[in-house]
Amino acid sequence: MKRTRYQIIRQLYSYSAVLLLAILSSCEKAGFSYNNIVDNNQQTDYILSDTLTVQVSTIKQDSIPTSGTGVLLTGRKADKYFGTTTIQSYFQIAQPPATDIPKTGSQFDSLRLIMHPNGYVAGDSLIEQSFEVYRVTNTIQIAKNLYYLYNNNSFPTEATPLGSFRGIIRPHTDKQLSIPLSADLGQQLFAMVRDKSPDVTDNAKFMDFFKGLNIRPTAKSATVSGFGAADTSLYVRLYYHVNELITTVKYIDLKMQAPNLQFNQAITDHTGTPLAPFNGNVNSLPSTATGNVAFSQPLMGAAIRIDIPYIKSLAFMGQYFKIMKVYLYLQPLSDSYIAPDRLPPRLAICQADKLNQVTDTLAYGELRIDKEFNVNTSYTFDITNYVIKEQTVTDYNSRSLFVTPSSMDVQTTLDRLAIGDQRNPKNKLKIQLYYLLYK
């Protein structure tokens, strides 16, 4: 049967419409719907644009709160992107519990710091680790009008360490480290407990006598390890024995107290890296100055800032313009997450003002790892609401985007991110804008 010209044109038109819908559906994300948005009296274009200009920079961050996380970090790690980071920790020890020790027949044995690995390690866990334990000489406290202790805080200590550790820590196997401390201090504490000295029976007096401990890596340390920081996982143990019919070995635990005052200090030397200017007074580096790469690890002093300068110009693209969806794709450099280095499992995208102060968290990015080719690993963010809002805000209220690991990961790990910008030859940042244009 012959078909008329009208039937052929109508069939081709129907086929084109089905093809267009199929193409749009293949680009469609969760929550993306074209229902009830087409005006049949107007010509409408469904458009995907990936040409929106994005400006990327690395921002220097000096103060990151690290207190009260329940995690003690110590060690040193060299990183080709960020430099060498040295981490040490401070915490308070509570008075010993009331204990009846006979004055005759009892004897001090040893004093030890007990630490429990939490399974985290940054670096090669097969490398021997080395750190020392110092006695703090000033009261550990939060500064007036502040709520936290930060990664750049410190407190003075005695010049001579109370004890030290050197060896391999197997983070998933070793359940406990027992570090010998000064026998002189141990003997002194033993006598004070046995004699019920006011310096140990009164907590205020004990805190004046023993202000806390500091654990810091030595120059031989090449790995950062994590430990539990709670009264059940971090304590000083005083061993003694009593000579009776059967000699009995006993101990007293002086537990970590005031978890809100336990914090980790982190100092990074960026020498020899793209972030070397951060060693001076530079606070911001555009990605064009760092090899078309931006970097994020706030504990190391770096965060990624993203600006989309031409958002307000989108409204001039047609008589009627409607944003449907906007997605941001970040690609980590393919050689930046080779074991033992790893990517942050979750990234937050936040709003930040002109002073780089975070004002709100918008969303968390989905990490997709390309295990087969190691080239398409990326984080995906839905920034639709942000772009729509930025079209109408004043310059004063305008906000940039900050990309950072989740707050807990920032404070307790050295997981870091190095991403390409739009000009990076291998790992490009992409932004996809889906919109309707009524003509």
pLDDT at 311 exceeding the cut of 90: no
| H/E element, 208 | helix 203-209
Q: What's the confidence (pLDDT) of residue 314?
A: 79
When pLDDT is cut at 50, 70 and 90, the band that residue 42 belongs to is: low
pLDDT at 320 exceeding the cut of 60: yes
Q: What's the confidence (pLDDT) of residue 21?
A: 34
Q: What is the mean pLDDT of the chain?
A: 87
Predicted confidence (pLDDT) per residue in 269-298, tens digit = 999 999 999 999 999 999 999 999 999 998
- CA torsion 345-351-354-358 (nearest 10°) is -70
Peptide bond connecting 340 to the previous residue in cis, omega within 30 degrees of 0 = yes
SS3 186: helix
Q: What's the confidence (pLDDT) of residue 429?
A: 95
Q: What's the confidence (pLDDT) of residue 230?
A: 96
pLDDT at 402 exceeding the cut of 70: yes
SS3 256: strand
Task: Tell me the residue type at 74.
Answer: T
pLDDT at 378 exceeding the cut of 80: yes
Predicted confidence (pLDDT) per residue in 10-38, tens digit = 443 333 333 333 333 333 334 334 444 44
Tokens of 214: 């500091």
Kindly state the DSSP code that residue 162 receives in the 8-state scheme. Answer: S
Nearest to 141 by CA among 131, 129, 149: 149
Query: What percentage of the chain carries pLDDT values higher than 90?
Result: 65
Cα–Cα distance for residue pair 77/273, rounded to 1 Å: 14
- Domain extent listing, the chain: 33-61+271-438, 71-261
Q: What's the confidence (pLDDT) of residue 339?
A: 84
Cα–Cα distance for residue pair 239/212, rounded to 1 Å: 19
Contact of 212 with 157, CB cutoff 8 Å: no
Tokens of 175: 């359940």
Contact of 383 with 328, CB cutoff 8 Å: yes
Backbone angles phi, psi at 59, to 5 degrees: -105, 135
Q: What's the confidence (pLDDT) of residue 318?
A: 62
Q: What's the mean pLDDT in 223-237?
A: 97
Kindly state the DSSP code that residue 182 receives in the 8-state scheme. Answer: -
When pLDDT is cut at 50, 70 and 90, the band that residue 46 belongs to is: low
Q: What's the confidence (pLDDT) of residue 26?
A: 38
Q: What's the mean pLDDT in 233-240?
A: 97
Cα–Cα distance for residue pair 293/16, rounded to 1 Å: 42
Predicted confidence (pLDDT) per residue in 92-130, tens digit = 999 999 999 998 889 999 999 999 999 999 999 999 999
Predicted confidence (pLDDT) per residue in 353-367, tens digit = 988 888 899 988 878
Nearest to 210 by CA among 243, 234, 186, 227: 186
Q: What's the confidence (pLDDT) of residue 185?
A: 97
Of residues 172 and 88, which shows the higher confidence score?
88
Q: Which residues contact 165 (CB under 8 A, 6 or more apart)?
A: 129, 130, 131, 132, 133, 177, 179
Beta bridge partner(s), residue 400: 352
Predicted confidence (pLDDT) per residue in 186-229, tens digit = 999 999 999 999 999 998 999 999 999 999 999 999 999 999 99
Cα–Cα distance for residue pair 404/381, rounded to 1 Å: 12
What is the separation, in whole angstroms, between the first and last Cα of the chain?
40
